[in-house]
Amino acid sequence: MHPGRSLLQHFLAAIAYRTQKALRDAPAGFADFRAGENVRTPHELLWHMTRVIGYAGTMLRGGEFKPPAMDTFDAEVARFHATLAALHRDLGDDALQAQIADEQFLQGPLSDVMTHVGQLAMLRRLAGSPIAPEDFIFAKVRTDNVGAEQPLPASPDAGWTPDKPPMAVRPTIRPPALPITE
């Protein structure tokens, strides 16, 4: 396997894990929640994520990937994970020569999709159904698992409750040292 490909495959697994964390136990109607004018709904966002992952696959296989939106959110979720699985397989195929460097996969489409996963999590909070924070270092992300069936958090934040706002983190600001003059 190409040197960076196993890390890219693991990143795909992290995307799958975090996507399912953002979608797990979402309230009815979440798929169509619109936070504001010209803001994608979760359904539209997942469709876009699928297109971006599919586009990444064209960097290995060629062609185009422009799927139509699925009628249901569940179908879109299933297609998203199937598209992740296809890219995961392609990244493991040494016979496929990529049109871009591994670093470009990471800085481009894969980072784009991870950003959208964060947007799904934010939309959950805006929709009144925030997700619990966790220490992702200890998450049970398995490189071979890019499907919808993901484990529960291994290291959730103790004491978190959905009725409290997130803790604000404010950096300590120190005034600049004044020069000593005599």
Burial class (CB in 10 A: 0-12, 13-18, 19+), 121: middle
pLDDT single digits (tens) 112-125: 999 999 999 999 99
Asked: is 5-138 a CATH 1.20.120.450 domain? The reply is yes
Place of tokens 């699928």: 50
Inter-residue long-range contacts of 135-140, CB under 8 Å, 24+ positions, other chains counted: 136/14, 136/18, 139/14, 139/17, 140/17
Q: Is the pLDDT score of 130 beyond 70?
A: yes
- Write the pLDDT tens digit of every residue in 69-104: 999 999 999 999 999 999 999 999 999 999 999 999
* pLDDT band (50, 70, 90) for residue 41: very high
Confidence of residue 174 (pLDDT cuts 50, 70, 90): low
pLDDT at position 133 is 92
| Residue ranges of domains in the chain | 5-138
Mean pLDDT of 42-47: 98
This prediction's pTM: 0.89
